[in-house]
Amino acid sequence: MRHPLAPIPTDRRLRRGAQLIVGLILYGVTAAMLVLAKFGLDPWDVLHQGLSRTFGLGIGTWAILISLVVLVAWWPLRQRPGAGTVANAILVGVVIDLMLSLTHPPHALWARVALLVGGVAGNGIATGLYIGAGLGPGARDGLSIGIAARGHSMRIVRTGIEATVLATGVLLGGTVGIGTLLYALAIGPMTHLTIPALSIDPARARGHRLKQFPDRAAPRALLRTN
């Protein structure tokens, strides 16, 4: 019987594990920064925030619960989560709730703008770190990849999923604003740079980047044969 988790690469395990943990913690911290900025969130966090406002529980707790639901959806798509996928589903949400319990939203406009810009930029770096570790994509990325692997356009799949998630989150009371737009415009170009730059496996990063952003040419360093 095939093991339910994808095998962990045998090379540079210590670096992979450390980079994964740092990336996931940073992702949780920067996601919380966007919540504190109150300028709007990325589509998935709009959903988490809307669920939190409607049904209670923390935003991070809903991030964990939704991640687990999404992982169940991997089963018919024949996707295999990696160790990083499981860690992502739990650790990010824990960090978000911890950050929000220890801090309060600032009132000064400059502080909110700083949180917004730092949150978006840091999120792009965090994405490059945890994906670059090569221990498995996040649950949401894996869902898009699994559906697209059945012959659908990745761009259409991602747009459709995130539009549905965003609309649902708005109906539940999630925050949409300039921060949502900034995130949508900036995260693609940033991860286009950070994923290959921080990848331990350049060839794997190239494949992941092309699946996420098929309209963008791969960086030259990734087009070289290894």
Q: What is the pLDDT of residues 165-204, one digit of tens each?
A: 999 999 999 999 999 999 999 988 898 899 999 998 765 5
In three-state secondary structure terms, 190 is helix
Q: What is the mean pLDDT of residues 211-215?
A: 47
Q: What is the mean pLDDT of residues 56-80?
A: 91
Amino acid type, 186 = A
For 79-101, b where at least 16 C-beta lie within 10 A, e where not — what string?
Answer: bbbbbbbbbbbebbbbbbbbbbe
180 neighbors 41 (Cβ within 8 angstroms):
yes
pLDDT digits (tens, 9 = 90+) for 42-63: 999 999 999 999 999 999 999 9
Secondary element (H or E) of residue 39: none
Task: Tell whether the model's pLDDT for residue 75 goes beyond 80.
Answer: yes
Q: What whole-number distance in Å separates Cα of residue 13 and Cα of residue 131?
A: 14
Q: What whole-number distance in Å separates Cα of residue 169 and Cα of residue 150?
A: 27
Rounded (5°) CA angle 36-87-131: 80
Structure tokens of 47?
């959903």
**Alpha-helical segments (H) within the chain:** 13-37, 43-55, 59-77, 83-102, 109-132, 139-148, 154-171, 178-197, 202-212, 220-223
For 178-197, b where at least 16 C-beta lie within 10 A, e where not — what string?
Answer: ebbebbeeebeebbbebbbb
Q: What whole-number distance in Å separates Cα of residue 43 and Cα of residue 22?
A: 23
Q: Measuring CA to CA, which residue among 134, 124, 117 is closest to residue 192?
A: 124
Task: Tell whether the model's pLDDT for residue 225 goes beyond 60.
Answer: no
Task: Tell whether the model's pLDDT for residue 213 goes beyond 50.
Answer: no
Q: Measuring CA to CA, which residue among 141, 35, 159, 147 is closest to residue 84?
A: 141
Q: What whole-number distance in Å separates Cα of residue 46 and Cα of residue 65?
A: 14
- Of residues 140 and 58, the one with the higher pLDDT is 58
- Of residues 54 and 79, the one with the higher pLDDT is 54
Q: Measuring CA to CA, which residue among 71, 72, 70, 80 is closest to residue 1?
A: 80
Left (φ > 0), alpha (ψ -120 to 50) or beta: where does 173 sit? Answer: left
| pLDDT value at residue 145 | 82
